[in-house]
Structure 1
Amino acid sequence: MPNTPRDTAATGTPRVEIGQHGLRLPRIGLGTASLGNLLGAVTDEQAVDTIRHARDCGIGYVDTAPLYGHGLAERRVGSALRDTPREDLVISSKAGRLLRADAPRDESQYADGKPFYTDVPAAGPVWDFTYDGVRTSLAESLDRLDMDCVDILHLHDPDDHYKQASSTAYAALRDLRAEGTVKAIGAGMNRTAVLTRLVENCDLDVVLLAGRYTLLDQSAMADLLPACREHGTKVVVGGVFNSGILVDPSPQARYDYVPAEPVVIEKAARIQAVCDRYDVPLAAAALQFPLAHPQIVSVLVGARSVAELDMDLGLLEVVIPDGLWHDLRASGLLPEDVPVPSGPLATGLERTAR
């Protein structure tokens, strides 16, 4: 099947409009979970340097959340961007968890008894999808960010809280948008079923999907992406490396933050073998792949250092032959109908020397 034609939202246009309030989203953004000490500690200095370097390279879109480092990521974003004109930035954060000193242990944030976030403040996340809880969460995020507004507010991981997320929490988002407090509203998750229901039943401008539309996993094509197209909801994609396995599919690779199963490693290794035939880094194909889908307006890179960010930006510059995508389809590693990139990407970014 020939490449699916790409509309304006997928041709590398530096900014794409989402919602009805004049918000234009860059094609590349910076995700900050890693800068909140996900799977390893990052110093304040390293985090701030990385965020500022992203800004200096033209990345004007930063996504964060209270969960990321139990407030660390938001504080580091605020510190790094304090002197940046607000009109030059698109900032998104999330609601659905409040950080409280007496929070019970959340087992969803642990694997094999070890927390995903290390060396974090004592206040932990407590679920709260009430109307007041969402507004309180935003107020507390703004305090940590030292900003007077965010542009996008997402409901965060409401997998087991659909009833409240689609009622009281959504009502809070809707009112915040109507008041002009935020320009766009959405939801951010790494599973598609509840996210699809939210798109179908709530008026969301954008969703943030992590890990379910990647070179390894295109499961969002079955439900979420068609729903978003029908309802005019744009999609931001994160987790394009599936926790690192699409950088290095070694036996020690992680997938969805935990050690990968052998069958997943085997598939990633087969994808890498095709990339090797064309002398294309696996990570370059993984980073560029989602941008071909017409519903996807932006991809987040989750760099945890200046060097890692420069590596990611270099991957965006790799020209990938059409034959690589053909071979992935022919070998059954990509569906026949999946959109794939064609030609060099235009991201609107300018890399700076250090």
Structure 2
Amino acid sequence: MALTGILPGRLGFGTAPLGNMFRAIPDEEALATVEAAWDQGIRYYDTAPFYGAGLAEARLGQVLSTKPRDSYVLSTKVGRVVLDEPESDVPDFGEKGGLFEHGRPNKMLHEWTTAATERSIEDSLKRLGVDRLDIVWVHDIAQDFHGDQWLQKFEEARTGAFRVLTRLRDEGVIKAWGLGVNRTEPIELTLALEEPRPDGFLLAGRYTLLDHEHALQRLLPMAQEQNVDMVVGGPYSSGVLAGGTHFEYQQAPPEIIERVNKLKALTERYGIGIKAAALQFSLAHPVSAAAVPGATRPSRIAEDVAALNETVPAAFWQELRAQGLVSPAAPLPDGA
């Protein structure tokens, strides 16, 4: 089933920050942020076991488990199994290594096998306090592996997670499945397979104002041809497009800060918010079904809703392209 037939709107809520990403967030602040998303009418919520070793799922579930289950769409991910034992070594999560140092101390395994996938789903349901999931993403294949190692892990997922999720979809247990990654290659490889067939994918950080060239070259044309939808994760590029200092999970380098400053200057000249430009750009591609920015403060939710609905003049988009700040191949919002 196409994601556009499942998702209740173009704006969802990404819960990575609820796993204490970058900082320790008080429970009351995290729960208030989820309630704010609900009050603002957001009905699609995306989470993952990786986010704080289950912390984000547990916090999200505290709120969503009190809402009518048929009134919202919920997605989580498989690929990391959270264990009850504490991590004794410094975990190696590659570029995401320091993201959740304030999360739960539980050890996590990287596994995309049949058994790990089934266990991961069962554990997620318990943490979330719900009886079913709508969408399941296969998380971070290729994220922490190099050379031929990621291809070995992809094969593990193809014969494990992919087949489990296809069966669950065919049985009606879930509505859809796909990949949730921040690399284009595993999605391209999946779309090249004859089977199993994903319904969509969540691409984090690779279709934003700051980084979209690579996705436009091969992945998005493939997805469009096959009628496979995209959920845009990280539309603000780890926060640097929303007033933060991080890009790609690290402190933003000088060249990124310079480009952000150029974007800010242009948005200020046209009297619009940079979040509006970032969010609407990511949603302008025909493959984009929704975007899921994350937040840890209730006020940020209202900002996201306002950014989605803000009127951005066509002249802004035209000048954005004229200044070379976006690819000539990138679709722009209607009217530009």
Same fold (TM over 0.5): yes
Alpha-carbon distance in 1 for matches of 2:325, 2:78: 36
Percent identity, please.
Answer: 37
Q: Distance in 2 between matches of 1:106 and 1:233?
A: 34
Matched, 1:311 2:303: yes
**Does the 8 A contact of 2:3 with 2:289 survive in 1?**
no
Displacement of 1:258: 0.3
SS at match of 1:307: helix
Q: What amino acid does structure 1 have at the position aligned with 2:319? A: D
The residue number in structure 2 matching 1:275 is 267
Normalising by structure 2, we get a TM-score of 0.90
Deviation at 1:102, TM superposition (A): 5.5
**1:191-230 superposed Cα distances (whole Å, 9 cap, x missing partner):** 1111211222230001000110011111211122112112
For residues 152 and 286 of structure 1, do their structure 2 counterparts lie closer, same or farther at Cα, with a shift above 3 Å needed? same
Q: Secondary structure at the match of 2:164?
A: helix
Tell me the residue number matched to 2:145: none
Q: For residues 69-107 of structure 1, what are the alpha-carbon distances to aligned partners after superposition, in whole Å with 9 as ceiling and x for unaligned?
A: 110111111111122111101000000110122555432
Residue 107 of structure 1: aligned partner:
92
CA separation in 2, counterparts of 1:248 and 1:23? 32
Instruction: For residue 50 of structure 1, report the CA deviation from its aligned partner.
Output: 1.1
Q: Does 2:291 match 1:299?
A: yes
Q: What residue is the counterpart of 1:331 in the other structure? A: 323
Offset at residue 109 of structure 1 (A): 5.5
Cα pair 2:21 2:103 within 8 Å, conserved: no
CA distance in 1, matches of 2:198, 2:122: 21
Residue correspondence of structure 1 range 31-50 to structure 2 within 5 A: 31-50=14-33
Question: Which is richer in helix?
Answer: 2
Residue 144 (structure 1) aligned to one of 115, 118, 127: 127
1:25 to partner: Cα distance = 4.0
Q: Distance in 2 between matches of 1:281 and 1:53?
A: 21
Q: 1:230 aligns with which of 217, 221, 225?
A: 225
Q: 2:334 aligns with which of 320, 339, 342?
A: 342
1:43-58 map, 5 Å: 43-58=26-41
Aligned length: 322
How many Å separate the matches in 2 of 1:138 and 1:301? 23
RMSD over aligned Cα, in angstroms?
A: 2.0
Secondary structure of the residue aligned to 1:139 is helix
Q: Of residues 18, 23, 26 in structure 1, which corresponds to 2:2?
A: 18
The Cα offsets for residues 13-41 of structure 1, whole Å up to 9 and x where unpaired, read as xxxx7269x63442110000001111111
Residue 208 of structure 1: aligned partner:
202
Cα distance in 1, alignment partners of residues 258 and 49 from structure 2: 35
Residue deviations 1:249-296 (CA, integer Å, cap 9, x gap): 8xxx22111012222222222222221221212222011111111110
Q: Which amino acid aligns with 2:243?
A: D
Distance in 2, Cα, partners of 1:224 & 1:238: 15
Q: Secondary structure at the match of 1:115?
A: coil
Separation of aligned partners in 2, 1:273 and 1:317:
21
Query: Given that residues 241 and 286 in structure 1 are in contact (C-alpha distance below 8 angstroms), is that contact kept between their aligned partners in structure 2?
Result: yes
3-state SS of paired residue (1:107): coil
Which amino acid counterpart does residue 180 of structure 2 have in structure 1? G
Structure 1 consecutive aligned stretches of length 4 or more whose deviation exceeds 6 Å? none
The answer for unaligned runs of 5 or more in structure 2 is 143-149
Change (3 A) 1:193 1:173: same
TM-score by length of 1: 0.86
- Which residue of structure 1 lines up, in the alignment, with residue 113 of structure 2? 130
- Cα distance in 1 for partners of 2:253, 2:205 equals 16
